[in-house]
Every structure is written in structure tokens, then in C-alpha cells.
Amino acid sequence: MLLPALTDFADRNDDFRVFVGTGFLVGVICALIAVATRGERPQFTQKLGFLLVTTVWLAACLIGSLPLYFSSVNVTFAGAFFESMSGLTTTGSTVISGLDTLPRGILLWRSLLQWLGGIGIIGMVLLILPSLQAGGLALFHMESSDKSDKVLPRVNQLTGGLIAAYVALTLMCAIAYTSLGMTFFDATNHAMTTMATGGYSTHDASMGYFDDNRILIASTVFMVLAALPFVVYVRAFLPRRFQLWRDPQILVFLVICAVLSFAIAVTRRIINDTPFGEALVSSTFNLVSVITTTGYASEDYTLWSNAAIGIFFLASFLGGCAGSTAGGIKANRLVVLYLVVRASFRRLVRPHAVIRLKYGNDDISAQTIQTVTIFFFLFFGTLLLGTVLLTMFGLDLITAFSGTLTALSNVGPGFGQIIGPAGNFSTLPDPALWVLSAAMLLGRLELVTVLILLFPSVWID
């Protein structure tokens, strides 16, 4: 699966011979982890599993960074690693400026990293992470959306379905982009980074380069599709028990998108006097881009107004649906958090009432509540500590805070003069890039997978 894409790519750019080698390495590593995860002895599953998942991502990022580091692009190793991590975690923050004049090989490499990272995270969340919970805390119960092993009895079928859906959607997206006037190269790259909710572009101006509302609308549609739980598409492929609205997070996510987009358009109508129709298209595109954690921009939306900035800031936390390529807190957790708060308010008023929490048709277990809760602590704790660390390397508060946030949520652009949608991460010092790389990995692997490794008692028997 990896090699054809990589070969096709290497063909196109014979000056980067290192690509073939790295592509091969990635393939080997992937095979190794697949074997290792299967052959693992049961009693070692938990510790080894977390260690393996983290190691594989780190190794993949290392491999992904090599072509960038050895290429003609002027980046430090920290920069190359950051760029690769930003690709594979589908964050999309970049240290490279002057994308328009970059070798096409490098551009395609960046897009491929995101595309592979996208299917990688869907696969990992649905297939590998649930096995880590076996017999333990149902840590990723919500990620698997609804017992996928019931929906599709066999893992192979699910894997095949996911890949097919991902490829099909990417193709459809590429065709849509091409038909709307993008070159084949731009369409391919943007289709890959759209479906990965990655946000890497082949132009410094991102989607603004094309200056075409129809492209923005098409992109909006595919970003939303990419941020829905992918099990939906697999069910669509094998259409028994197909119930799109059974998963409450989908409705919640779509409603949040609609409300916030509308709110931004309204503020632009009032504050900037932008015609509402025009404002609605670009507001929806940029808001959907942030909330799906894609990170494209059609223009510098932080110039619209403080009110718009506030909404984009909120959207940077929220994220898409679990089981998709999107990051952030995610709509399923928002649903659970809301239900938990409501239940505890009710208990406070009616101490003797028996309250059962239901996520869709399923009861929410105490373990699920704990899992979501822990994620929330870790998210905000990491956000604050990351901010403090970055200020230690001289970053101002807004850059440090929004940088950590955008990395943890895998969004891409931050706020402020430096890393806002019109800026990039090229001026940040190397130590800051390392911190942000760590934050991207933490966010992508749902925090606990990595943080548990830092916890001493894990290593004591």
C-alpha cells in the first residue's frame, strides 16, 4: 500500500533518491509493528502496547524527516523533525516558507506524510488502541465509537473497508478539485491533505491561492466528511445496520460547525460590513478548517475582528469526531462531558434519583467517564505546562499558548503575529520546535498513550 504511492512519487523526482529508501523503511517498520502487535504475549500487552505505539510514531517521524533534512530545503534537524511530525500527526504547522517555489518532490512528500498519517491514526484508533484496553480500562471505548467488532466481525474486513473509504474519498476530492480548475498536482496534494484534515498546502497562501469560492465550498464539504467517524463509511460499504445518526457526536459536531460559521458570518456582516453571502462562504470554510483541525486558510481570518478570533480560538479546542482524522477534544467527549455535568447537577438537586447516562443507545460506563475526564485533565494540564515551557524559550504568551494549543489539537495555525494563519513556525527557536513536536505527538496519540510512559510506576513491577 505504501510502496506504490512512494514509487510513483520517486519516479517523478529522480533527484531525491533518498525517498525510495525511506519509503521502504517505513514499509518495513509498519510490517514489524503489525507482527509485533500480533505476536505479543498477553501479560505484556498494556505496557508494551503503549511503548510500541509511541515508538512507531517517533520512528516514522524520524524517517519522514530525513528527506526534508537532506533535501535542498533550508531547515535544521529540529525543523525537519517538526515538519515531519506535523505531517504524520496531520497538524499541518510548517517551518517552511516559500512553498510555491519548493521542489514538487518535497511538496508531495509533505502531503503524503499527512495522508499516511491520516489513515494511520484511523487504523490505530480503531484497531490497535482498543486491544490495549483488553481486560483493563476501556480507555478508547469512545474512540471505537460503537464496538466496531460487532459491526464488522473481522478485522481484515474493517481494515480493507477503511482503506477503501479513505482512498475513494481522496479520489473524489481530487476529482472535485481538478474539475474546479486546480492543476493535477495541486488537486492531488490538496485532496490528500484535506482527507487527512492535515492542512499542508502547496502554496504559502494556502487555499487562498486559488481565489475561488467553489473550491472553498468543495473543500468545506470534504473536510467535514474527513472529520466524521470513518466507521460510517465502512458501514455504508457494507450496508447492514446503517444508521448515520446513531452516533450522537455526528449531530453535535455538525450543529457546532453550523452555529459557529453562522456566528462568524454575522459578526463580519455587523463589524466589517461584509455582504452576508460572501462572508458565509469564507467564514464557513475557515471555521470548518479550524474545527475539523485541518488548518487551511483562505485569508488571514485573524484580521476580521476580535469577535471572529474568539470563535476561532474556541474552535481550536473543540475538534472533529472520534474515529476520524481530526484532532482536538472531539465531539464525542463533549457529549460525554455535557451528560456528566448535567447528571451531577441533577444529583445535587435530587439526591435520591437514579440517573443513567446514555451515549446514543449505549450506557456510558464509569470507565468511559473516567477516560474522558482524564483526557480533559491531561489536555489542559499539558496545554498550561507547554505554554510555560515555550515562554522559557522566549516566546510571547499568545504564541506560546496558541502554539501549544494548535499542536495538541493538531489544528495547524495558531494566533498572534508569528504563528497566526498568515505566519508560520520558521522563526521559532529549535527547543520550541521540539516542545511543539512533543505536543503534536501527545495530542495525536490521545495524550495518555504517551504520558503513561513518563509515569514511573509503569516501569515498576
The residues that touch a copy of itself, with contacts defined as CB under 8 A, are: 46-47, 135-137, 139, 267, 305-307, 309-311, 313-314, 317, 337, 340-342, 344-349, 351-352, 370-371, 373-374, 376-378, 380-381, 384-385, 387-392, 394-398, 400-401, 415, 448, 451-452, 455, 457-458
213 is an annotated ligand-binding site residue: no
Q: 353: buried, middle or exposed (CB in 10 Å: 19+, 13-18, 0-12)?
A: exposed
Which residues 192-221 are close enough to bind K ion by CB under 5 A? 199
Residue whose CB is less far from a copy of itself, 174 or 331: 331
* Window 407-426: contact mask with K ion (x via CB under 5 A): -----x--------------
The C-alpha atoms of residue 267 and residue 169 are separated, in whole angstroms, by 33
Q: How many other CB atoms are there within 10 angstroms of residue 266's CB atom?
A: 15
The phi and psi torsions of 336 (rounded to 5 degrees) equal -65, -45
Q: Please identify, using beta-carbon distances, which residue of 28 and 271 lies nearer to a copy of itself.
A: 271
Q: Which own/partner pairs from 275-283 qualify as long-range (CB within 8 Å, at least 24 positions apart)?
A: 278/213, 281/213, 281/216, 281/217, 282/213, 282/216, 283/308
User: Under the criterion CB under 5 A, does residue 328 sit at the interface with K ion?
Assistant: no
Displacement of CA 66 from its chain's centroid (Å): 22
Is 404 within any annotated ligand binding site? no
Nearer to a copy of itself, 193 or 267 (CB): 267
Q: CB–CB of 420/413 below 8 Å?
A: yes
Residue closer to K ion by CB (options 23, 199) is: 199
What's the one-letter identity of residue 32? L
Quote the CA–CA distance of 68 and 440 in Å, as a whole number: 18
Q: Which stretch binds K ion (CB under 5 A): 136-144, 266-274, 294-302, 311-319?
A: 294-302
Residue of 136, 145, 223 lying closest to 177 (CA atoms) = 223
Q: Which stretch binds K ion (CB under 5 A): 92-100, 255-263, 311-319, 386-394?
A: 92-100
The grid coordinates of residue 186 equal: 495541486
- Does the annotation place 159 within a ligand binding site? no
Selected from 117, 161, 229, 295, the binder of K ion by CB under 5 A is: 295
> Is 284 annotated in some ligand binding site?
no
341 binds, among K ion, a copy of itself, none (CB under 5 to 8 A by kind): a copy of itself
In angstroms, rounded to a whole number, what is the distance separating the alpha carbons of residues 79 and 77? 5
Query: Considering the complex, what minimum distance in angstroms separates the CB of residue 359 from K ion?
Result: 26
**Residue 199 interface partner, choices a copy of itself, K ion, none, CB cut-off 5-8 Å depending on type:** K ion
CA–CA distance, 377 with 373 (Å, rounded to integer):
6
- Angle, CA 425 vertex, CA 424 and CA 427 arms, to 5°: 105
- Partner from a copy of itself, K ion, none binding residue 382, C-beta < 5-8 Å depending on class: none
C-alpha cell at 198: 492535515
Asked if residue 410 lies in contact with residue 200, where contact means CB atoms within 8 angstroms, the answer is no
Report the nearest approach of a copy of itself to the CB of residue 179 (Å).
38
Residues at the interface with K ion (CB under 5 A):
91-92, 199, 293, 295, 412
Question: Which residues make up each annotated binding site for K(+)?
Answer: 90-91, 198, 293-294, 410-411
